[in-house]
Each structure stands twice: as structure tokens, then as C-alpha cells.
Structure 1
Amino acid sequence: MGGPNLEVFKFGMYIMFPIAIMYYFGTNLDNRFSVHGFWPAPEQTNKVPFEKDEIHAELERLKSKRLEKRDRRLAAEAQMNGQAGEE
């Protein structure tokens, strides 16, 4: 059997191995595991309006966008119905 030196070595390995793994994977994470361009830039993210005027302006923008899409859809449906009636 091994002696006390072997037991001290094993104890040291049991203690140091997890610490070494945590140190290796825990340092310099931004450079080691980062993917360039993964997260959107701040100017590309949604900005939630908090002021009353900003909220109303955003609601008006969304309403006009929805109505514009509705008008295009209705025009496309009318065109499809007109083509279907000619056949």
C-alpha cells in the first residue's frame, strides 16, 4: 500500500483539480467564449417608452403601420377577387 505521501498527494489532487478547472474556465470568459455579433447592439434593441408623449407617439406609429398593412392586404385581396371573377 501507499504511504502518507500518497494520501497527501491524493488529497491535494481532490482539492486542486476542481479549483484548477474553475480557475481555467472562470477567467477571461469574455475573450475565450464570446461570439462576435451575437448580442444586438444597443441601437438595434427595442426602447420601451416611459413618458406619456412617447407612449402615445409609439401607439400612433403602430396604428398607422397596422392600417397600412391592412390597406395593402385588402388591395391584394380585391385584386385577387378581380382576377378570379375574370376567369
Structure 2
Amino acid sequence: MYVMFPIGIMFYFGTNLDARFAVPDFWPKSEQANRVPLEKDEIHAELQRLRARRLYLRDRRLEAEAAQRARDDTNNGDGNGNGEA
């Protein structure tokens, strides 16, 4: 019993291990993976891209908040802003 159990485990998991447990295309290809910029110009370009994205998302958030505020003001109707009738 003590000898056959490890042999059975090795036989079960060891015969066609790659065919049963390998996941195709598990690791991303180099063009799909993130690449850390190393040169000064690349770092500057990446910072500019991140800054532009942050400002774009900030503008969208502020526009949405302004639209929500305007919608809330028109729904209140009394103009005092506390929502009580």
C-alpha cells in the first residue's frame, strides 16, 4: 500500500503531464506585455500620456458631476437646495 500509492500518483500525473495540464498561450507575447520605459524620452512621453489621460478623465468626471448637479436642481424645484418641500 505505501509503495503502490506514490507509484500510482507518479504514473497518473507523470505520463502525459504537458498534454493534460498545459494552458496554451498562457504567457503574453512581448508585444502584448507592458514594457517599462528606460530612456528619458520614453519616460517623458509616458508621463505626458498619463497626464493627458488623467486630465481627460477629470474633465469627464467634472462634466458628469455638473450635469448631475443641474439635474438635481431642476428636480428639487423649490430652489433652496435641501430637497425638502
Same fold (TM over 0.5): yes
- What value does the CA root-mean-square deviation take over the aligned residues? 2.6
CA deviation after TM superposition for structure 1 residue 32, in Å: 4.5
1:45 to 18, 33, 36: 33
- Structure 1 unaligned regions, length at least 5: 1-12
Task: Please state if 1:54 is matched with 2:45.
Answer: no
Which consecutive aligned stretches of 4+ in structure 1 deviate over 4 angstroms post-superposition?
27-32
1:65 to 46, 53, 59: 53
Task: Please state if 1:84 is matched with 2:66.
Answer: no
Deviation readout 1:31-72 (Å, 9 max, x if unpaired): 443112322222111000000000000000000000000000
- The CA distance in 2 between the partners of 1:28 and 1:86, in whole Å, is 69
- Structure 2 unaligned regions, length at least 5: 76-85
User: Whose helix proportion is higher, 1 or 2?
Assistant: 1
Q: How many residues align?
A: 70
What is residue 35 of structure 1 aligned with on the other side?
A: 23
- Give % identity: 54
Q: TM-score, normalised by structure 2?
A: 0.65
Q: TM-score, normalised by structure 1?
A: 0.64
Q: Which has the larger radius of gyration?
A: 1
